[in-house]
Chains A and B, each alone.
Chain A
Amino acid sequence: MSIAISARNLKKVYPGQPPVTALANASIDIPDNEFFTLLGPSGCGKTTLLRLIAGFEHPTSGSLDMFGQNLLDAPPHKRPVNTVFQSYALFPHLTVAQNIGFGLEMLGKPKSEIRATVDEMMALVKMTEMADRQTSQISGGQQQRVALARALAPRPRVLLLDEPLSALDFKLRKDMQLELKRLQTETGITFIFVTHDQEEALTMSDRIAVMNAGEIRQIGGPRDIYDHPAERFVADFIGDTNFLPAAILSTEGQSAKVRLASGQTVSARLPARDAPAGKVTLAIRPEHATFTSEADGLVTGTLAQVVYFGTDTHFHITLDDGTAFVLRRQNSSDTGPGHSQGDRVGIQFAPDVAQVLKD
């Protein structure tokens, strides 16, 4: 598989007092035909990286290649890359069809080809009936689809999407997530998707790069990142996580025997690189923990609050050392013995579901 985008030590510093480092030494390889997501809180540098690829910004240092060719010398209008903007940036003086055809027109394609491609694109995003509407006369979701069609029409090698779903309401966003994934598979174009929504990232991406404070913290598949976060930030940012203090007793391969604050021992997974020793933190997902009797519990505590969510129930537990712990259980017809506020409970989790994080 060929590499669509390859960044090496890409760095962007905005001058000022003091200078702001938006992106620090980002190195990344994005294979062709991948749905790749840049995930992180606002100001983490994900949009900066996207704008560097689009050509709207120039890096302070580092290299950026596209299919093996240096991209940095090309101005934005010469890069085979198109962007779906967060604000959509549809041209208000053009109709839906004119918007979609704009890129092809600028490339100097013949009129017949433009018309054919525009029709095809409008069918792809189901906007055929809206061809002659003004962009102000269509809804937010439709504008979003027009922006997508406009960016796809010139058949870019790489499509950049800058939080395109953030302005849509919940249900529409769900639909568009599936739609985007379908479009990516159908067109075979590499998608680079920027979002701060971890759920969006998990459901759509082939791979995710989690970013924080201008740095890429972890790259991996959704399951990999969720189940085996490399560090506390990633574990905390993606999904809900319980953190327990622990000490490593012994290690064997990817597994470590750790002692919890309660004195119980359990085996946990070590990070792939830089295995820590001594005092560490264990990360346990709320749905990976189960109730047991107080005597059998790896940790014990008092049930502080029970929150019913329909599909599942969240149990907020105050552990004996004062740490808060959340346990999530899916609701079914036989949920087992009920627990109520104030109960003494034991919590257990299977060997190796807990992830060791450097303290």
Chain B
Amino acid sequence: MTKYDAIVIGAGHNGLTNAAYLARAGLKVLVVERNPWIGGAAVSREIEKGWMYSNCSYVCSLLRPELFRDLELARHGLQVVPYGGGVSITSNGDILGNYTHEEVQRREFARHNPRDADAYDRYSTDVMRQCKFIRPMLLRTPPDPTSFKPRDLKEMIFLGKELKKFGEQFIYDTLRFYSMSIADFLNEYFESDTIKCHLSGSGIIGSAMGVYSPGTAYVLLHHYMGDVDGSIGAWGFARGGMGAVSKSIANALKSFGGEIVVDAPVRQVIVKGGRVAGVATENGTEYYADVVVSNLDPRRTYTKIFDPKDLPPVIVEKAKNWKIRGSSGKLNIALDGLPEFPALGKDNPLAFGDIHFLDSLEKMERAYDDWKNGTWSKEPYLDLLIPSMTDPTMAPPGKHFMSVFVQYVPPFIHGREWTDADREGFKNTVLDQIGRYSPNFRSLVRHVECRTPRELEAEVGLTEGNIFHGELTMDQLLFNRPFPGYAQYRGPIRGFYMCGSGTHPGGGVMSAPGANAAREILMDLGRPNIVPEGWSDD
């Protein structure tokens, strides 16, 4: 068996990014993937003939532009197209839209509350300040605040200087912002419940937290800090679906001589003499390398693919305690035509973006209550998009692909496993909600891929179906991600590294964890750094 310089477990976008940089640095790299396809949760698959689904993740903003450029992903087939729009439709038939024209947007807010229309400027400035603060941190390894190593001290000083640039007030604001709920945050700006619930969605997506749960304000930032071509907070579609992201990174990896083996689920990381030696797959093959990198979430990494005897018990304990709770589901729907939403009127450009059916923060909190009670929300929060309106490659002409992200969906139903009947019930809850706002919707449905946390874990490998590889709360962010003392991508065993969304800066199709981990690995191997670092868009 050939020996590799590095093996990456999992061909998700972060695993591929990590491998691409290691290969580019001259290492002999292998990526092992359990599924017959690559991409992890950044994947497009043709499940219904003629339709390309973005099966899991569905929109793109966080992917670091420095990596997009540096890996020449455009040349490797990636095109990201902004879409604009987005709307919340209320049960009384009113709407609140995101218009791209500043004055139109202001009038839309003023329709609901004139003062809130002006407050939106203040809100945007304050959120933008947080974006500007965090963006330079994304492509950096978080410093260890307990360490006196020169590099950690240097990074802490950098962090302090960054904070100071924004003024004293910002330090107070930031500490509050990272610990408060999205509802409390929005209450400091807005009066209109429609406006508040419209904006609150970004605070709960992917989180097993309600709009009133502390920590959700940061989750909103996590959805705002990306950009499309410098337009911070904008989102786009990867042309051809989110699989195009993974495919382009895989193409980059291959162009650097890296290899990918699919249908190769890892059974165990081989540890010899206190350091990693390779991986053994379920089908009996062993691959050897002195560096093994896991793109799996921290829980899965330390409880499923290691012999616990090879690990310090505290690590196993931390992995078991890792807060990774299933909260979301996904319906991918093939449609025989374009559904009409009467509340939007004809040819409303808002329909190009995310569609929500919302009324109040209260109603959103009730949806979370259902989750706590061990069942899916009876009035779920949907993030619904019709990517085929923008991207002609997603469905045959005149037909459409609808992506529906659903919250809240528990990992277990009243403590027991999901059944197929549960899944059917869940599916109908979602389809019924859409049908209430779109009379012709049900008649257009041709095929539905319905994914509960059960499917997301079984097919994609996300523990409990948590899309972020672990909650984005302060106890699990920055130097705490995944665990205090392990935030610099190194595992507890020599030669073992983490590169997934369970590491800094967290979830989303960002590729930053993969790139940051590659930088650390190259440093340990004594190789020059070739991975983009930092950011200076002020």
| Chain B binds chain A | no
